[in-house]
């Protein structure tokens, strides 16, 4: 029998194995045919042989919650985040420059502003944005993607006035619009008026996102809310994904969850392929901790007047879960705050009739889950998908501003979940935080914040468990454990060559580890 490819390296590693699986992978028809020692395959007829010593082969990373099209799309917009923007004026100057670069009346878009990292401790105001761009509608998305600010021209395009009755359209003490928009109803009241990119632009955006994935060793990814920000875009983005794959450009195995707003939401019905499928639906229960819109059981540490926002009520969640579960869909629900998590668990419990569900329904982010809530999730078969990057990117501010020392200590309770026997995933929520699985693994095993302090040492986990959260366990969340997330005969030959061998050398090797090459179907698709 002829085989397609034999790849030899210093070692072949799996987080589900006690040691090295060998030094060679035999590939045929895009899947792993065998793993062993080079001497095992001396007589094998192989069309292609590749020697990757001194590198180490690991399963490709599985990014279980990102927004692929947005990853590429935001690259076209003004970056309003740190470290280049330390004052509101820095953002305003970037917008002013853009007004001189684009035609009058065209939209100016930006992303990643963070009020808590700006010297003024606030976003640009409606008046400031209107003054620098009086003839251009301006829409700037917060780094959580749950808030935005807009100028007067943008509000005029959306026909929003002080009399508009739309939740999340913020006003000052005198009832005047501030330009701030909180959560999806308010965001989409404006964003639906932004012209949708052309099919060619969408294809370029997806190419940018795919390239980011492959550079970081991500071979499988989840678009966790198809239609996010523009519910009418679901079909267009889905077609862009299809066109990208049909054009035989490099891709990653992409699994989509469709954001539903009602029983008639468009859900693509095209037959799944090994590279593109719809896994289920996405719902929201609250907002973001750093935007003060995640729903907490007790007030925010720095804003005692608020506990956040309930995006969906219990009855609505129960009804939607029941509807889409009856249609056979897996359900993933966004919940950051402990009160929101409690509501989501209650909704699942009611919809399941208090019984265990084999559908692997999910809670996305689950950042403030308590031990009792995790135990309830285990009983019902609900899987948490933790947003571990928050510990590094916002950990200092969670401790000092949003949550205080006590609550922030158990943010993303990985050790508690693992001790209970829950299977969980880790994710970046890119582009909310940069796509970088190796950095996410470091955060999970150190709990280091941006300032270098340890946030909640009691939730530190072993490297092997963290690696499972970004490979085999992440695949399990999407019913893909028999396809990706590990290295074994019969699985897709999706793997990466790393410069170091952290699972063998120890966690300290993670610091210097780099992705050297990425393989899909046994073929090289990225090299450093």
Q: Kindly state the helix (H) or strand (E) to which residue 68 belongs, with its residue range.
A: helix 68-73
Question: Cα separation of 185 and 251, whole Å?
Answer: 32
Instruction: Render pLDDT for 271-313 as a digit per residue (tens, 0 to 9).
Output: 888 899 999 999 999 999 999 999 999 999 999 999 999 999 9
* Mean pLDDT for all residues in the chain: 95
pLDDT at 515: 99
Predicted confidence at residue 236, as pLDDT, reads: 81
Question: Do 367 and 495 belong together in one domain?
Answer: no
pLDDT at residue 254 greater than cutoff 90: yes
* DSSP per residue, 184-228: HHHHHHHHTTSPPPPHHHHHHHHHHHHHHHHHTTEEEEEEEEETT
Asked if the model's pLDDT at residue 517 lies above 70, the reply is: yes
375 in the same domain as 492:
no
Check whether 232 has a pLDDT greater than 80: no
242 part of a folded domain: no
Distance CA 162, CA 183 (A): 18
Q: What's the count of helices (H) and strands (E) in the chain, helices before strands?
A: 18, 24
Q: How many CB atoms lie within 10 A of CB 301?
A: 18
Task: Give yes or no for a contact between 62 and 485, defined as CB atoms under 8 angstroms apart.
Answer: yes
Range of the domain at 147: 77-191
The set of residues, in sequence order, having a beta carbon less than 8 Å from that of 500 and lying 6+ positions away, is: 56, 509, 510, 512, 513, 514
Q: Write down which residue in 191, 215, 239 finishes a domain.
A: 191
Asked if residue 295 and residue 407 are part of one domain, the reply reads: yes
Regarding whether 331 and 430 lie in a shared domain, the answer is yes
Q: Model confidence over 4-14: pLDDT tens digits?
A: 999 999 999 99
pLDDT band at 229 (very low <50, low <70, confident <90, very high): low
Of 191, 220, 244, the domain-final residue: 191
Same domain, 363 and 407: yes
**Predicted pLDDT at 184:** 86
Residues 515 and 433 in one domain: no
- Domain co-membership, 27 together with 114: no
174-203 confidence digits (pLDDT tens):
999 999 999 989 999 999 999 988 888 888
Task: Render pLDDT for 455-473 as a digit per residue (tens, 0 to 9).
Answer: 999 999 999 999 999 999 9
Write down the pLDDT at residue 217.
Answer: 99
List 63's β-bridge partners, or say none: 221
Tokens of 43: 């007589």
The SS3 of residue 79 is strand
Contacts of 528 (CB under 8 A, 6+ apart): 514, 515, 516, 517
- Range 136-152 average pLDDT: 96
Q: What is the pLDDT of residues 153-171, one digit of tens each?
A: 999 999 999 999 999 999 9
Percentage of residues in the chain with pLDDT exceeding 70? 99
| pTM, full prediction | 0.94
In-domain check, residue 217: no
Stretch 262-278: mean pLDDT: 86
Per-residue pLDDT, 131: 98
CB under 8 A, 24+ apart: contacts of 148-154: 148/180, 148/181, 148/186, 148/187, 148/190, 148/191, 149/113, 149/123, 149/124, 149/125, 149/179, 149/180, 149/181, 150/126, 150/179, 150/181, 150/190, 151/126, 151/179, 152/126, 152/179, 154/107, 154/190, 154/193
Distance of CA 86 to the CA centre of its chain: 26
- Distance between CA atoms of 332 and 258, rounded to whole angstroms? 10
Residue 244: pLDDT over 90: no
Please indicate, yes or no, if residue 213 is contained in any of the structural domains. no
Shared-domain flag, residues 290 and 420: yes
- Helices 199-215 and 234-246, axial angle in degrees (round to 10): 70
pLDDT bracket for residue 227 (50, 70, 90): confident
The last residue of a domain, from among 191, 225, 256: 191
The reply to whether 176 and 301 lie within a common domain is no
Write the CB contacts of 62 (distance below 8 Å, at least 6 apart in sequence). 218, 219, 220, 221, 425, 470, 471, 472, 474, 475, 478, 480, 484, 485
> Is the same domain home to 421 and 337?
yes
Does 450 lie in the same domain as 373?
yes
Q: What is the CATH number of the domain that holds 299?
A: 3.20.20.140
Count how many domains the chain has.
3
Is the Cα dihedral 415, 419, 420, 421 positive or negative? positive
Closest CA to 19 of 438, 501, 497: 501
Structure tokens of 519?
């393989």
pLDDT in tens, 327-348: 999 999 999 999 999 999 999 9
Residue 479: both structure tokens together:
């019913």
Q: What local confidence, expressed as pLDDT, does residue 172 receive?
A: 93
Note whether residue 461 is domain-resident.
Answer: yes
Does some domain include residue 243?
A: no
Confidence tier at 95 by pLDDT (50, 70, 90): very high
Angle at 104 between CA 100 and CA 105, to 5 degrees: 135
Q: Are residues 158 and 29 in the same domain?
A: no
Q: Which pLDDT band holds residue 442 (cuts at 50, 70, 90)?
A: very high
Query: 394, 364 in Cβ contact below 8 A?
Result: no
Q: What is the CATH classification number for the domain harbouring 134?
A: 3.10.310.70
């Amino acid at each position: 029998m002829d085989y397609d490819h034999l790849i030899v390296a210093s070692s072949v590693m799996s987080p589900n194995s006690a040691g090295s699986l060998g030094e060679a992978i035999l590939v045929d028809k895009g899947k792993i045919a065998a793993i062993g020692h080079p001497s095992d395959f001396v007589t094998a007829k192989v069309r292609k042989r590749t020697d990757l010593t001194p590198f180490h082969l690991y399963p490709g990373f599985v990014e279980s919650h990102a927004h692929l099209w947005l990853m590429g799309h935001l690259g076209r917009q003004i970056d309003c985040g740190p470290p280049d923007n330390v004052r509101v004026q820095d953002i305003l100057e970037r917008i002013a420059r853009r007004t001189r670069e684009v035609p009058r009346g065209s939209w100016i878009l930006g992303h990643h502003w963070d009020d808590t990292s700006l010297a003024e401790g606030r976003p640009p105001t409606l008046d400031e944005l209107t003054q620098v761009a009086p003839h251009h509608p301006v829409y700037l998305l917060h780094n959580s993607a749950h808030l935005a600010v807009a100028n007067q021209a943008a509000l005029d395009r959306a026909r929003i006035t002080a009399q508009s009755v739309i939740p999340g359209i913020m006003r000052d003490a005198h009832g005047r619009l501030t330009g701030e928009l909180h959560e999806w109803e308010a965001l989409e009241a404006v964003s639906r008026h932004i012209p949708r990119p052309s099919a060619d632009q969408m294809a370029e955006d997806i190419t940018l996102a795919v390239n980011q994935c492959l550079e970081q060793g991500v071979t499988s990814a989840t678009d966790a809310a198809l239609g996010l920000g523009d519910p009418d875009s679901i079909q267009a983005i889905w077609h862009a994904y299809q066109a990208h794959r049909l054009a035989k450009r490099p891709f990653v195995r992409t699994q989509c969850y469709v954001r539903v707003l009602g029983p008639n939401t468009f859900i693509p019905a095209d037959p799944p392929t090994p590279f593109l499928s719809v896994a289920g639906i996405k719902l929201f229960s609250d907002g973001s901790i750093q935007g003060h819109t995640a729903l907490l059981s007790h007030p925010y540490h720095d804003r005692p007047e608020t506990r956040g926002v309930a995006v969906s009520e219990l009855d609505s969640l129960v009804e939607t879960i029941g509807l889409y579960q009856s249609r056979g869909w897996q359900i993933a629900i966004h919940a950051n705050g402990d009160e929101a998590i409690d509501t989501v668990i209650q909704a699942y419990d009611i919809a399941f009739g208090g019984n265990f569900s084999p559908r692997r329904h999910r809670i996305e982010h689950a950042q403030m889950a308590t031990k009792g809530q995790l135990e309830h999730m285990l009983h019902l078969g609900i899987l948490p998908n933790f947003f571990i990057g928050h510990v590094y990117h916002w950990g200092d501010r969670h401790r000092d501003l949003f949550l205080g020392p006590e609550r922030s200590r158990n943010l993303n309770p990985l050790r508690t979940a693992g001790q209970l026997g829950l299977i969980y995933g880790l994710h970046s929520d890119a582009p909310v935080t940069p796509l970088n699985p190796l950095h996410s693994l470091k955060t999970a095993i150190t709990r280091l914040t941006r300032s270098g302090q340890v946030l909640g040492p009691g939730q530190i986990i072993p490297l092997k468990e963290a690696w499972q959260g970004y490979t085999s366990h992440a695949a399990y969340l999407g019913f893909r454990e028999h396809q990706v997330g590990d290295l074994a005969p019969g699985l897709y030959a999706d793997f990466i060559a790393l410069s170091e061998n952290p699972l063998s050398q120890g966690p300290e090797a993670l610091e210097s580890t780099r992705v050297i090459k990425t393989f899909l179907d046994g073929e090289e698709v990225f090299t450093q």
